[in-house]
Homo-oligomer: A and B are copies of this chain.
């Protein structure tokens, strides 16, 4: 499939394709097969070879133009890094129609095991990457309770892309498993915990997507509007505008340091789930504030339909929900804080 995955090679493809393709991806809610193939050939789905750090740098860079493409790479890499296997495009199938927060209560998908193999039946929603994936990581109720399985795509797997107003083109889908064939890859009964461990990589990735969206939004608005003259002065000379930008620089610099520190720690001993949760929360803030600011800087023309700022703003909004709603992560972090500070 590829000789040697390299960050440079992947970045070259992204920088070549995304500025011209990103609008189309958002419009059609789909990435064309040739774009997926180009990325694949460049090694974008070889997360183990690339290494965690390079994967996340790729994710950040892709997000400047297409958070959807960044999401595809990130979500697939999440599984690859967690299970040390690469070369596939993976979909993560956890949430069911009842909702994503209370996973246990909503888990209806079942796995009938036969040795290490299993027959999976059930329905998932918000399944990342499903439009492009050849492998599906599925949480299902096995004989010993919730367990992770890997399903290979075949006609028993029905995929229907969801029509969302965010991350269009990321292939987020409703997926039905009709007695689909899978292999148990997790510990029996430990599926929820293992699913969440996998999700941690996505959360860190959302932090990076947040940084990329911020860069993209400010590049876009900055290059088009900061030199515009209003009341005899360039827009970039107004103190209020400078302060708005400064605020974003401060918060994104701290987030960047947090993510790089989290990756350092992860390479030594495993990803800290608190780092991952915090990265996502701060990424959501930075991205939403940056797209808001960018539109203010652009003024009325910032509302043009089908513009880069429009889809970046829509994508930024999702960072507060996907892979763990803001509220759920505050509970998670807050529980630890209470234990730390309440004393003996």
Binding site for B on A (CB under 8 A): 95, 99-102, 105, 125-126, 163-166, 218-219, 221-223, 226-231, 234, 236-250, 253-255, 257-258, 260-261, 274-275, 278, 281-282, 292, 295-296, 299-300, 302-306, 310, 313, 317-318, 320-322, 325-327, 329-338, 340-343
Contact = CB atoms under 8 A, between A and B. Distances in A.
Nearest to A231: B102
A305 B236 CA distance: 35
Q: Which 5 A-B pairs have the closest CB atoms?
A: A222-B341, A242-B334, A226-B342, A223-B343, A246-B334
Given A245-B337, A337-B242, A341-B219, A310 B257 contact: no
Tell me if A's interface is mostly helix, strand, loop or mixed: helix
Contacts of A292: 317, 320
A94 B199 CA distance: 50
In the complex this chain forms, how many copies of it are found?
4
Contacts of A296: 320-321, 325-327
A343 B249 CA distance: 16
Given A230-B102, A296-B327, A302-B321, A281 B341 contact: no
A282 to B, nearest CB: 6
A240 to B, nearest CB: 5
Given A102-B230, A222-B338, A240-B331, 14 more contacts: A95-B300, A99-B230, A101-B230, A105-B230, A218-B341, A222-B341, A239-B240, A240-B243, A240-B330, A247-B330, A253-B275, A257-B260, A292-B317, A295-B321
B305 A278 contact: no
A300 B98 CA distance: 11
Contacts of A321: 295-296, 299-300, 302-303
Contacts of A238: 239, 327
A102 B302 CA distance: 17
A261 B250 contact: no
A223 B341 contact: yes
Contacts of A246: 329-334, 337
